[in-house]
A = this chain, B = another copy of it.
Amino acid sequence: MTSRAGLGRLSLNQRTTASWSLPEAIKGCVDAGLGAIGIWREQLAEVGLDEARRLVADSGLRVSSLCRGGFFTTADPAEAANAEAMNREAIEEAAALNAATVVLVPGGLPPGDRDLVAARDRAARAIERLVPYAHERGVNLGIEPMNPIYAADRGVISTLAQALDIAERFDAADVGVVVDTFHVWWEPGVGDQLQRAGPRIVSYQICDWITPLPADTLLARGMMGDGHIDFPAFTQSVARAGYRGDIEVEIFNAELWAAPPAEVVDTMAERYLELVQPYLAE
């Protein structure tokens, strides 16, 4: 494939076009001239790993991320073993697809559990247990700090600084960080943290913070330019940190999901060319 002018580093995360199957999303990326795709395990399972690998190879797309691993904050040994098995599967899939990283969403507080410090510690130790397995397969684990709006129910790692505190215990090739504008745009000193991260930035995901926040906070993300995030400035910081990978658009939004997916891809490409792509040069 040949990517369209300026779109060579743009990647479609499948959650932005939730109604597309993996084959449809791959075709949509190719048709729009994008360079990469962020694949979700649920849609991957529908076609199977061998077929997915063939489709990706034929398309010429890079796999900018595999979503998602993680969800390992449980204090229950049996659940922890299940989570570890699930993460190992994700690592195998990421290896097969040559994904830039497996995105690790830490998970929230277990039901009835209010000890956030302990949950964060369990997440860190779960990552530690996965590193040898991922290392053997040449797969990078990408820790995704999540907006504190999700600290209770989705992601107990809340800042880029905190994600780096964990990631830096390991080789940069093994453990990186996923920088999603929605999650960290508000973080005091985020520019310094991006510099600190440097080569540990394994994924740059973009979407906007919109107000008023939609009623379902899981679907609260906006198209770049529709909200409050300064994409030119943030992107320049990411570029200065040395990031040379793909830029993945990941937008959970009910209105976008109701729109024709190809139109959503067109819009995101336009916004990317306006607000992000010109600021990627260091």
The answer to the question of A209 belonging to the interface, with a C-beta cut-off of 8 Å to chain B, is yes
A 85-103 contacts with B by CB, 8 A = none
The answer to the question of A227 belonging to the interface, with a C-beta cut-off of 8 Å to chain B, is yes
The answer to the question of A186 belonging to the interface, with a C-beta cut-off of 8 Å to chain B, is yes
B114 touches A186 (CB 8 A): no
Binds B, one of A126-134, A152-160, A260-268: A152-160
**Contact A152 B209, CB 8 Å, known A114-B229, A116-B230, A230-B116:** yes
The answer to the question of A162 belonging to the interface, with a C-beta cut-off of 8 Å to chain B, is yes
- 23 A-B interface contacts by CB (under 8 A): A109-B228, A114-B228, A114-B230, A115-B233, A116-B186, A116-B228, A147-B149, A148-B187, A149-B149, A149-B213, A151-B186, A151-B209, A152-B186, A152-B209, A152-B211, A152-B227, A153-B211, A153-B212, A153-B228, A158-B187, A161-B188, A212-B216, A215-B215
Q: Which residues of B contact A233 (CB under 8 A)?
A: 114-115
The answer to the question of A217 belonging to the interface, with a C-beta cut-off of 8 Å to chain B, is yes
The answer to the question of A185 belonging to the interface, with a C-beta cut-off of 8 Å to chain B, is yes
The count of chain A contact residues (Cβ–Cβ below 8 Å) is: 31
A 70-119 contacts with B by CB, 8 A = 109, 114-116
A 197-223 contacts with B by CB, 8 A = 209, 211-213, 215-217
Q: Which single residue of chain B is at the shortest CB-CB distance from A162?
A: B188
Q: Which single residue of chain B is at the shortest CB-CB distance from A183?
A: B148
Q: Which single residue of chain B is at the shortest CB-CB distance from A212?
A: B217
A 130-184 contacts with B by CB, 8 A = 147-149, 151-153, 158-159, 161-162
Q: Which residues of B contact A211 (CB under 8 A)?
A: 152-153
Shortest CB distance A230–B (Å):
4
Shortest CB distance A238–B (Å):
16
Instruction: Give A116 to B237 CA distance when docked, in angstroms.
Output: 14
B114 touches A148 (CB 8 A): no
**Contact A152 B188, CB 8 Å, known A215-B215, A217-B212:** no
B209 touches A213 (CB 8 A): no
B153 touches A188 (CB 8 A): no
Instruction: Give A5 to B159 CA distance when docked, in angstroms.
Output: 41
**Contact A217 B228, CB 8 Å, known A149-B149, A188-B161:** no
Q: Which single residue of chain B is at the shortest CB-CB distance from A146?
A: B186
**Contact A185 B116, CB 8 Å, known A109-B228, A217-B212, A217-B213:** yes
